[in-house]
Amino acid sequence: MVKGWAIIGVTFIHSTVLGEESPWMTLLFLHAVPIFLVLFGMNSESWFRRRPASGRMAAWYERGFKRILVPTWAALAVWWLLVLVLEPGIVRVTISLPLFHAVGYLKQVGTGWFITVIIQLVVLFPLLHWIGRKVGIAALLALGFAATIATLLSVQSIRGTLGLGGWMVFSPRFYVHIAFGMLLAPYVNRLGARAVLAALAGYVVLALVQEKVLLAQWWRFANRLLELPMTVLLLAAMPLVARLAVLETGLSWLGRHSLGLYLGQLLTHNAFLFAFGGECTIFGCQGGLFERFNLWLYTAILAAGSLFFLAVGHAALRLAGSLRDSGVPLPDLST
């Protein structure tokens, strides 16, 4: 259900409907993507713990290939079609660009940085799990914290070397989120009152620093760590939300299909940027479609586009299954 909430937050981020300075954005929805990464660490650690060591690595990478890389390639095929048809000036086509895309580096694909980070983490996670088993998850969390803080202390140097796009896909800046999710994995269904109170206290302190009420010079660090207690609070709140059946059903469905919805939204967002102009960076979005459309309307367009491309993807899987059943030698891509 938290993943369902997060994909709603991602939609609000991409449409900018609540504005860049809204407290709802800065204190809640703007953190949706890193919360996805905490949940990735939590779910991945749970997956590893449930399975015997024999054959686990092969199953993990097969799962990642089918669940992430194949849908990403399908989305990229549509993205390239959009580029060829709409010829957007914001895309610089080079010989190397298809090669970057083939290995999962979504260079020049708006909002694609998250997919590139996830692919990196899928590749690295068996190593992170092994380290956690050897030294303990608490020690791994300390290492993740050190890696994330080091990236924040070196942000200008990293951006100067890798560029803004390289910084966006630099996965070590999120290692603390993965490790924290791994730490949460055994406790996710039994978060006690003390854990919730500690998370609430941590959230309040970090939020005050982020909003520059306290220790304004440390706002960047608070902004990057706020997702940790926020995830605990959201996980603890979901049983209360689940009492409303319609919310439970809706958020659970969104969570189960969050990657497909993200890719669908990526395609929709890129198509509208190509067609109507506008620019998005980590500092916000402006111009073009953000001035020509009512932003609530654009939010609905992004949601509808997500659902449309998700439906197309599911239809393609069903068609491939039918062809395979009739004897056509197609690989089984179901997970």
How far apart are alpha carbons 102 and 169 in whole angstroms?
A: 16
Q: What is the pLDDT of residue 274?
A: 92
pTM: 0.93
Structure tokens at 46: 């749970």
pLDDT band (50, 70, 90) for residue 325: confident
Mean pLDDT of the chain: 90
Q: What is the pLDDT of residue 143?
A: 95
pLDDT above 90 coverage of the chain, percent: 59
Highest mean pLDDT, choosing among 8-17, 209-218, 278-287: 8-17
Q: For residues 258, 264, 270 and 274, what is the CA-based torsion angle, rounded to 10 degrees?
A: -160
Q: What is the pLDDT of residue 282?
A: 64
pLDDT band (50, 70, 90) for residue 283: low
Annotated domain spans of the chain:
2-192+243-325
Give me the mean pLDDT over the 298-323 stretch. Answer: 91
CA end-to-end span of the chain = 20
pLDDT digit string, tens, across residues 160-170: 999 988 999 99
pLDDT digit string, tens, across residues 88-129: 888 899 999 999 999 999 999 989 999 999 999 999 999 999
Decide: helix, strand or coil at residue 284: strand
pLDDT higher than threshold 90 for residue 312: yes
pLDDT higher than threshold 70 for residue 252: yes
Beta strands per DSSP E along the chain: 279-281, 284-286
Maximum CA extent, the chain: 66
Q: What is the pLDDT of residue 335?
A: 67
Q: Are 36 and 258 in contact (CB under 8 A)?
A: yes
pLDDT digit string, tens, across residues 169-209: 999 999 999 999 999 998 888 888 888 899 999 999 999 99
pLDDT higher than threshold 90 for residue 40: yes
